[in-house]
Amino acid sequence: MNALPVALTIAFAAGVDAIEATTIVFAVGLARSWRPALLGSFAALLVLVLLVAVFGAALVRFVPVAALELAVGVVTLLFGLSWLRKAVQRWAGRRAPADQRKRFERAVSRLRANAGDAAAFAAAFGAVLLEGLEVAIVVITFSVSGVGLLVGSLCALAGILLVTACAIVLKGPLTRVPENAMKFAVGTMLTTFGTYWTVQGIGGGWPSGARTIPLLFAWYLLLSLLGVALLRRRPVTPSPSHGS
């Protein structure tokens, strides 16, 4: 299988999650101080690196290949469907968009009300760990069936560094990044690979092997566009679920 789409999916997924994490880290840094913001971020990154190293290595060493492919496929597919669903609903105007400015302002007012470096450290640590967990899962699942743990981790790091560099240049939260478009692209790719690996995991084969992957991508892209069109034509009813 061509490693480039796998590497790009990891980098994009890491970038999307890094947008939300940098919003909170910047809020901590600007509202309190940069010391707890950076310490909290690095502590969370250390935990995530350990998680990837321990679980990734253990999975490869102890789990049979077929079971691993199935587990990786199932996790990737469910993740992908969840991301894609949110992105399509946002695109169709049926779900509130992720507003980094609002998230940033909420975090700043909470931090200003809650004095102390410990609270600031906890906020940065929690944000990076929570968003990073999704990245860690993507890195582990994609790495064990594609590019290897080291390359997978480096791809994720590249995505995170790119987003962080943009946030540093702009000196604030990334409010103008096309977050939903990125989520849409990553969701489609995760769903594609998840479908491919799940079928491989149950011992089934695809008619054209790995060459089916672009066709699967086109299938989910087509369905997503159809979903956007259908949702837009449907009358609006109040929805209880509007989250990230």
Partner 1 sequence: MRAWRFLAGNSKVAPAAFVIALGGSIVLQRGGVANAAIFFAAVIGIGFVASLFETA
Q: Give the CA distances from residue 226 to residues 40, 77, 131, 184, 231, in Å, rounded to whole numbers and listed in that order.
A: 42, 19, 29, 14, 9
C-beta of 56 vs 173, nearer to partner 1 = 56
- Contacts with 144 (C-beta within 8 Å, 6 or more apart), sequence order: 56, 59, 60, 68, 72
**Minimum distance, C-beta of residue 1 to partner 1, in the bound complex (Å):** 15
C-beta of 164 vs 200, nearer to partner 1 = 200
Q: How far apart are CA 71 and CA 26, in angstroms?
A: 36
C-beta of 178 vs 205, nearer to partner 1 = 205
**Minimum distance, C-beta of residue 194 to partner 1, in the bound complex (Å):** 9
Q: How far apart are CA 64 and CA 102, in angstroms?
A: 46
C-beta of 40 vs 201, nearer to partner 1 = 201
Nearest Cα to Cα of residue 129 among 51, 29, 59, 201: 51
**Minimum distance, C-beta of residue 214 to partner 1, in the bound complex (Å):** 13
**Minimum distance, C-beta of residue 5 to partner 1, in the bound complex (Å):** 17
Q: Under the rule (CB under 8 A), what is the footprint of partner 1?
A: 74-75, 77-79, 81-82, 84-86, 88-89, 92, 94-95, 191, 195, 198-199, 202-207, 212, 216, 219-220, 223-224, 226-227, 230-231, 234, 239-241, 243
Q: How far apart are CA 103 and CA 76, in angstroms?
A: 27
